[in-house]
Homo-oligomer: A and B are copies of this chain.
Amino acid sequence: MGSMNIGVLGTGIVGRTVGSRLVELGHAVAMGSRDTDNPVAHEWLASVGTARGARVGTFADAAGHGALVLNATSGAASIAALKLAGDRNLHGKVLLDLANPLDFSHGMPPSLSVANTDSLGEQIQRSFPDVKVVKTLNTVTADVMVHPERLPEETTMFVSGNDAEAKATAADLLRSFGWRSIVDLGGIEGARGQEMYLPLWVSLMGAQSTPNFNVRLVRA
């Protein structure tokens, strides 16, 4: 895909890793956080440089900048972050939701703050009905998100969302990261399965002592 203006909401490991990869791929990335003087955001900007138009700002700055917006905030903070990003800055845009509604308040293993009959992806879509939400990338660790080819076999990435064009845009971005096996789960209610996979992922991380894994879908 050609160079785009992309807003990345969140300065955690997911936001920084995905943001850096997007800069590397030639996109003009604005990383958004709650405060403009977020030191982690400025460290990130220093690491990627400004030659390709990378910059940092508020959630609203990043959302306004992006033709495409990525939610890389923690699940518990996502709705609040998107409200700060603002309806006007998000209106009509494709929003890739990478977040997981992990709840560590009851200790380990984490539970989900929303599950089973609803999901964070659906909550975001309901809160921003004019935004084209696509759930994806939440089922792997940050490094695997942007370098799936580092695993020894091709593995599978899932997308769900109500808008076919938005899912095509998401798939283009995924392919630019290196994904080849992309499975469309249907509407945004597919986010339930994508998010409820997380407890198995957490168990597998514990069993293998590494987050660098994924699953490959094998069909008859």
Which residues of A pack against B, CB within 8 Å? Answer: 106, 109, 111-112, 115-117, 150-153, 155-156, 158, 160, 183-186, 189-190, 192-194, 196-204, 206-208, 210, 212-220
CA distance A201 to B77 in the complex (A): 28
- Oligomer copy total: 2
Q: Determine how close the nearest CB of chain B comes to the CB of A108; give it in whole angstroms.
A: 10
| Residue contact A213 to B220, C-beta cutoff 8 Å | yes
- A220 to chain B: which residues have CB within 8 Å? 150-152, 210, 212-213
Q: 10 tightest A-B contacts by CB?
A: A193-B200, A212-B220, A215-B215, A193-B199, A213-B219, A196-B196, A185-B203, A193-B203, A216-B216, A153-B218
Main secondary structure of the interface of A (DSSP, over half): mixed
| Residue contact B215 to A219, C-beta cutoff 8 Å | no
| Residue contact B185 to A204, C-beta cutoff 8 Å | yes
CA distance A207 to B186 in the complex (A): 7
- A194 to chain B: which residues have CB within 8 Å? 200
CA distance A186 to B214 in the complex (A): 19
Besides A160-B203, A215-B215, 10 more A-B contacts (Cβ < 8 Å) are A151-B220, A153-B216, A153-B218, A185-B203, A185-B206, A186-B207, A193-B200, A196-B196, A196-B197, A216-B216
| Residue contact B184 to A207, C-beta cutoff 8 Å | yes
Q: Determine how close the nearest CB of chain B comes to the CB of A31; give it in whole angstroms.
A: 27
| Residue contact A207 to B185, C-beta cutoff 8 Å | yes
CA distance A174 to B117 in the complex (A): 32
Q: Determine how close the nearest CB of chain B comes to the CB of A186; give it in whole angstroms.
A: 7
CA distance A111 to B193 in the complex (A): 10
- Known contacts A106-B117, A117-B106, A200-B194; decide if A218 and B214 are in contact (CB<8 Å): yes
- A208 to chain B: which residues have CB within 8 Å? 219
| Residue contact A186 to B213, C-beta cutoff 8 Å | no
| Residue contact B217 to A215, C-beta cutoff 8 Å | yes
| Residue contact B207 to A218, C-beta cutoff 8 Å | no
Q: Which of B106, B196, B219 contacts A210 (CB 8 A)?
A: B219
- Known contacts A115-B115, A152-B218, A220-B212; decide if A200 and B197 are in contact (CB<8 Å): yes
